[in-house]
Structure 1
Amino acid sequence: MFVPLFLEVIFPILLLIGLGAFLQRRYQFPLTPFSTLLTVCFMPAAVFLNMYRVELNYQVLSEMLVYLLLFTLATVLLSHLLGRILKVNDGEGAALKNSISLMNSGNFGLPVSQMVFSTNPLGVTIQIFVLVFQNLLTYTYGLYNLLAATKTFKDILRSLIKLPIIHALILGLAFQLFQIPLPRALLIPLDYLSAGFISLALLLLGAQLANIRIRVYHKIITWAVIGRLVAGPALSLLIIYLIGLDGVVAQSLFIASSFPTSRNTSTMAMQYQVEPELHAQVVLYTTLLSSITVTLVIFLSSILF
C-alpha cells in the first residue's frame, strides 16, 4: 500500500513543486505578487467554500481545540528543551523553535488533505482549522521568537485581523450556521478559485524553494528535521490516544502533524534578518524529506484509525 499511496498522493504534489522550481529557475518570476494572490484570493476562496459546505459538529470542534492546544504545547516545550541542550544562540534558537512548532499547513498541508480526504469533507475542514490555528501561532509565537518581544500585542493583533483567511473562516462559519444560501452566480467563480488553489500553492512553493541557496549545513537543521518530521507525528499520536480521538478526526490531525516547516518562517526571518539562510534551509530539507514521512504517516493513519 505504501508505494501506491506515494504515487497517488505525494508524487503528484512533488511533481507540481518540481515544476514550480523548474519554471522559477527558467524564467525568474517575481514571487511576491503570486504569493499575495494566493493569500488574499485563492486560499480564502477554498477556506470559505469548505466551511460553507461542511456539516459542523461542535463535539469535533472542541476535540480539535483541545488537541491543538496540547500538541502546540508539546512541540514548543520540545523545541525549548532541544535549544537548551544544544546551547544555541538567540538566532539559532528562534530557527529551531519555529521550525518544530510551525507547519506548512497551507501550501503543502491543504493540498495533501484535499487529495487524501477528497470523498470526506470533514477531513479537509479539520485541516482548515489547523491552518488557521497555525497562522495565529505564526504571527504570535513565531514573531515573538524572531523579535524577542519587540512587537507589541496591538501590532500582532492588527496583523491577525488583516489575514484574509480569518475573514473567510468567519464568513464561512456564519453562512453555515445561519443557513444563508449563495446564488450560483457567486458559487461558480468561488469554485473556480478554489479549484485553482492547489496548483498555484504547489507551484509557488516550488518556486520559493528554487530560490534557496545552500552554503553551509548547520547542525540545527538535523534537529529541526527530526523535531518536525519525526517527533511531531510521534507526539501527535500520543496526544490522540491520550484524549481518545478516532476516525477521520484522528486521521486528519495525525496527518497534519507530519507536514514540513512553514515557509512563513523563512519569509519572516528574511524580513527581520534573523538567520534567514538557516530558516530557508530548514524549510527546504523538511519539505523534501516530508515526501517520505508524510506518506508513512498517511499509511499509518489508514491502519490505526
Structure 2
Amino acid sequence: MNVFFYIIINIMLPIFLLAGVGFIVQRKFRLDTRTFSKLSIYVFVPVLIFTKVYEAEITIGLLATVFIYIMAVQAVLLIIGEGAARLLKYPRSKKKCFINSLIFFNSGNYGLPLTELVYKGDPLAYMGQIFIILVQNVMTSSFGVFQASSGSSGYKKALRDVIKMPFLYVIAAVVLVRALNIQLPQPVMVPLGYISDAFIAFALITLGVQLAEIRVGFNLRDMSVASVLRLVVSPLIGYAIVSMLGIQGVLAQSLILGVATPTAVNTAIIAREFDNEPDYASQNVFVSTVLSPITVSIIIYLLNGTA
C-alpha cells in the first residue's frame, strides 16, 4: 500500500500537474501543436540521446542483454498488435498508431524514477533502465517514425522521414566522440544538460496540449484493448523472456518492471507530427497512464514476492 501511495503522490501527481499546465495553456491560447512536436523531435530527443550515451558508464554485456530483451518484447507485442488490429478491423493508419502504443513505453519519466524507488539506487537496476531508455529512443525515432509516417503515406516517404530524423546523426556523433575519447567542454555540456533535463517537463506539457485538442469521445473497446496489452500483457511477456534468457535477480525484476509502464508520450508526439491518428494516440497515453498505478503496484508486489 505504501508503494501504491508513493506512485500516486510522487510520480502520477507531477505527471498530471505538468500535463495540466499544457492543457490549460492550450485551452486559453490555442497554440500550434506541431511546433511542440517539432521541438521535441528535432531538439529535445536528440539532445537527450546524446547526453545519456555520452555520460553513461556503458557495459557492452549489459547493453547487449537489454537490447536483446527489448527487441524480443517488442517483436512479440508487434505480432500480437498485428493480430489484434486485424480482429478489430482497424484501418491502416489506426493499426500503425495502435502498434506504436503497444511497443513504446514510458521508460524515461516513469520507469526510471520508479526503478529508483523500488530498488533504492541499485546500480544494476538503474543502468538496466538507462539502457532501456536509450534503446527505446532509438527505436522510436526509427521504427516508430516509420510506422507513424507510413500510416498516412507511402513507404518511400516514410523511409525518407526516418532518414530526416536527427537521431541517426546524433548516435554517429556521440559514438565518434566516445571512441576518440573527446572531452566536451563545459560551455557545450551545460546547455546540452539544460535541454536534456527539460525534456520530461516539455514532453508532458506537450501531452497536455494535445489532450486539449481531442474532440472525439473515448471508445471503451479501443482503450481497453490497448491498455490491457500495454499494462498487463507486456510485463507477462517480459517475465517469459527474462526466464528464457536466464536473467535473474534485480536485473530481471527491473527489466520486467521497465516494460510494465504506460504508453510513451513520444508516441503521441510523432503521431501529431506525421498526422497519424493523433487524438487516438493521445488517448492511449492518457488512459494507460491513469490506469498504471494499479497495474504497476500489483507487479511490484509480485516481483518483491519472487525476490
**TM-score interval w.r.t. the shorter chain?**
0.7 to 0.9
1:124 aligns with 2:130: yes
In structure 2, relative to structure 1, the CA distance for the partners of 1:13 and 1:88 (3 Å cut) is closer
Alpha-carbon shift at residue 263 of structure 1 (Å): 5.2
Aligned length: 297
2:141 is matched with which residue? 135
Alpha-carbon shift at residue 294 of structure 1 (Å): 4.3
Contact in 2 for aligned 1:17/1:204 (Cα 8 Å): yes
Residue identity opposite 2:284 in structure 1: V
Alpha-carbon shift at residue 11 of structure 1 (Å): 2.4
Alpha-carbon shift at residue 227 of structure 1 (Å): 1.4
1:9 aligns with 2:7: no
**Aligned match for 1:198, one of 200, 204, 209:** 200
Tell me how far apart the structure 2 counterparts of residues 201 and 269 of structure 1 sit (CA, whole Å): 13
**CA offsets 1:89-145 (integer angstroms, 9 cap, x no match):** 5555445434323x254xxx322244345655623243122221233221334544x
Q: Superposition pairs for residues 219-258 of structure 1, below 5 Å? A: 219-246=221-248, 249-258=251-260
**Aligned match for 1:170, one of 169, 172, 183:** 172
**Aligned match for 1:184, one of 183, 186, 197:** 186
**Aligned match for 2:23, one of 14, 21, 24:** 21
Tell me how far apart the structure 1 counterparts of residues 274 and 34 of structure 2 sit (CA, whole Å): 17
Tell me how far apart the structure 2 counterparts of residues 29 and 147 of structure 1 sit (CA, whole Å): 24
Tell me how far apart the structure 2 counterparts of residues 43 and 132 of structure 1 sit (CA, whole Å): 10
Deviates more, 1:126-135 or 1:209-218: 209-218
Question: Structure 1: which 5+ runs fail to align?
Answer: none
Contact in 1 for aligned 2:18/2:201 (Cα 8 Å): yes
Deviates more, 1:18-27 or 1:182-191: 18-27
The TM-score, its normalising length taken from structure 1, stands at: 0.81
Tell me how far apart the structure 2 counterparts of residues 189 and 207 of structure 1 sit (CA, whole Å): 25
2:109 is matched with which residue? 111
Percent identity between matched residues is 26
The TM-score, its normalising length taken from structure 2, stands at: 0.80
Q: Superposition pairs for residues 44-123 of structure 1, below 5 Å? A: 44-88=46-90, 90=92, 93-101=95-103, 103-105=104-106, 109-116=107-114, 120=123, 122=127, 123=129
Tell me how far apart the structure 2 counterparts of residues 301 and 168 of structure 1 sit (CA, whole Å): 36
In structure 2, relative to structure 1, the CA distance for the partners of 1:191 and 1:200 (3 Å cut) is same
SS of the aligned residue for 1:139 comes to: helix
Question: Structure 2: which 5+ runs fail to align?
Answer: none
Deviates more, 1:238-247 or 1:226-235: 238-247
> Root-mean-square deviation (CA), in Å?
3.1
Tell me how far apart the structure 1 counterparts of residues 242 and 276 of structure 2 sit (CA, whole Å): 34
In structure 2, relative to structure 1, the CA distance for the partners of 1:171 and 1:295 (3 Å cut) is farther
